[in-house]
Amino acid sequence: MSNIIAIVGRPNVGKSTLFNRLVGSRHAIVEEMSGVTRDRIYGKGDWNGYDFSVIDTGGYVSGSEDIFEGEIRKQVEIAIEEANAIVFVVDVTTGITDLDETVATMLRKSKKNVFTVANKVDNTQRVGLSSEFYSFGLGDVYDVSATNGSGTGELLDDIVKTFTSKTIEEDSELPRFAIVGKPNVGKSSLANALIGEERNIVTPISGTTRDSVNTRYNAFGFDFMLIDTAGIRKKAKVHEDIEYYSVLRSVRTIESADVCIFMIDATEGIQKQDLNIYYMCEKNHKGIVVLVNKWDLIEKDHKSTKEFETKIRQQLAPFNDVPIIFTSAVTKQRIHKALEAAMRVYENRVKKIQTSVLNEVMQEVMEHNPPPSIKGKYIRIKFVSQLPTHAPAFAFFCNLPQYVRDDYKRFLENKLREHFDFEGVPVRVFFRKK
């Protein structure tokens, strides 16, 4: 089960500041994803042994007051549908506004765990001003200062008590493939092409997330779980044209997968919304296969796949060692080639390299290209081993790990890829004191 916290509220109450505090400032909170959008909207967190994702709605409403209200309504509806816990942020310095009342009314009707946060309680003079927010009828109100972090620990303590699982549950030993991408790139068409007409070869299995079904695909030599197909195909109650929707909708799917089949629309190319989801797959250390869908429409213009692929790899840099398949879900062009690529990537992700072989190869690489000296200090790497993680990670043991430069880490990662084939899989390189 994936635990998702959604932060909602009107503009200028401090949602993004609270998001940054939850995913970036505390020692127990690890790894945030900075995408290419105006604001960070997705972060990974950990508190009291519970893993969770944080979704920020900040930065995605603009224009008049009427537009504000319309966009906020959409975002709250999505949060109610998808999140485990909803953090409703209000501003203690301005008190209750009409927009606050609108959000509170929607949240009262939901059956979700709602945590009302009175933000900007930055000094003792403001303590107690939050009492008026109890009129929302949403339970306790938490006095918080997102700026200095006060009150956020107590808030997280109570949020994680509502979670039912500490980590994502694995309900099958089969490879787990997820079709991901922004709305309208052809995810539904691909899912239907794979399972829609082959009813006899699929087995519906109750999924771990609401309104989703994990489907077993067992045909043509393939045997894997297709994750959250129903959830992906399900028509949302809200418009699908806002970026927040595609991110929140993708979180559960990505976190449950071994390999993400990442779809883009060939007629549009890669846009910032695509990259945001792609980076989410990478940050979660998932295997990735890129599917350029609707290629049948582009082929008529006589565009070459080589030219298109070169451009895609430039946009996906620095992590662009991924299979790129040009396909059409409607005509079923190369969809089985896409499955073959996904299976190869899965095998790369679970690959374990013998320590003796790893050291034999990498020691020779490092002898020919030793790490550069820093301030007259010479780095000597003695040993390398693969870590027992779900995705490829390697520890290099040396005398001065703090002096190893990032460009040398990238060099070693590229050599690992060159010698052991980790196509489609993010590879992590760590340096530790010997």
Residue 234: is its pLDDT beyond 60? no
Q: Could you give the CA distance from residue 82 to residue 210 in angstroms, rounded to a whole number?
A: 8
Burial class (CB within 10 angstroms; exposed 0-12, middle 13-18, buried 19+) of 210: exposed
Residue 73 and residue 106 in contact, taking contact as beta carbons nearer than 8 Å: yes
Residue 432: is its pLDDT beyond 70? yes
pLDDT of residue 276: 82
Q: Could you give the CA distance from residue 11 to residue 307 in angstroms, rounded to a whole number?
A: 43
Residue 122: is its pLDDT beyond 80? yes
pLDDT of residue 356: 96
Residue 267 and residue 404 in contact, taking contact as beta carbons nearer than 8 Å: no
Residue 245: is its pLDDT beyond 60? no
Residue 145: is its pLDDT beyond 90? yes
Residue 237: is its pLDDT beyond 70? no
Q: Is pLDDT larger for residue 367 or for residue 165?
A: 367
pLDDT of residue 214: 66
At what angle are helices 305-316 and 272-283 packed, to 10 degrees?
60
Burial class (CB within 10 angstroms; exposed 0-12, middle 13-18, buried 19+) of 176: buried
Region 100-107 average pLDDT = 90
pLDDT of residue 55: 82
Residue 198: is its pLDDT beyond 70? no
* Low-confidence winner among 71-85, 87-101, 316-330 (lowest mean pLDDT): 71-85
Q: Could you give the CA distance from residue 434 to residue 426 in angstroms, rounded to a whole number?
A: 25
Q: Could you give the CA distance from residue 346 to residue 350 in angstroms, rounded to a whole number?
A: 6
* Low-confidence winner among 45-59, 77-91, 118-132 (lowest mean pLDDT): 45-59
Q: Could you give the CA distance from residue 385 to residue 246 in angstroms, rounded to a whole number?
A: 38
Q: Is pLDDT larger for residue 253 or for residue 223?
A: 223
Residue 4: is its pLDDT beyond 90? no
Residue 402 and residue 382 in contact, taking contact as beta carbons nearer than 8 Å: no
pLDDT of residue 212: 41
Express as a percent the part of the chain with pLDDT over 90.
41
Region 324-334 average pLDDT = 89
Residue 1: is its pLDDT beyond 80? no
Residue 119: is its pLDDT beyond 80? yes
Residue 184: is its pLDDT beyond 60? yes
Residue 146 and residue 17 in contact, taking contact as beta carbons nearer than 8 Å: yes
Residue 326 phi, psi dihedral angles, 5° rounding: -95, 120
pLDDT of residue 177: 93
| 365's tokens | 């690489």
SS3 213: strand
pLDDT of residue 396: 96
pLDDT tens digits along 342-401: 999 999 999 999 999 999 999 999 999 999 888 888 999 999 999 998 899 999 999 988
Q: Could you give the CA distance from residue 318 to residue 427 in angstroms, rounded to a whole number?
A: 12
Residue 215: is its pLDDT beyond 60? yes
Region 206-229 average pLDDT = 64
Residue 30: is its pLDDT beyond 80? no
Q: Give the HSE-up count for residue 44: Cα atoms under 13 Å, Cβ half-sphere.
A: 20
At what angle are helices 65-82 and 243-255 packed, to 10 degrees?
10
Residue 413: is its pLDDT beyond 70? yes
Residue 416: is its pLDDT beyond 60? yes
Q: Could you give the CA distance from residue 142 to residue 86 in angstroms, rounded to a whole number?
A: 13
pLDDT tens digits along 311-322: 999 999 999 999
Burial class (CB within 10 angstroms; exposed 0-12, middle 13-18, buried 19+) of 121: buried
What is the pTM (predicted TM-score) of this model?
Answer: 0.67
pLDDT of residue 273: 79
DSSP-assigned letter for residue 66:
H
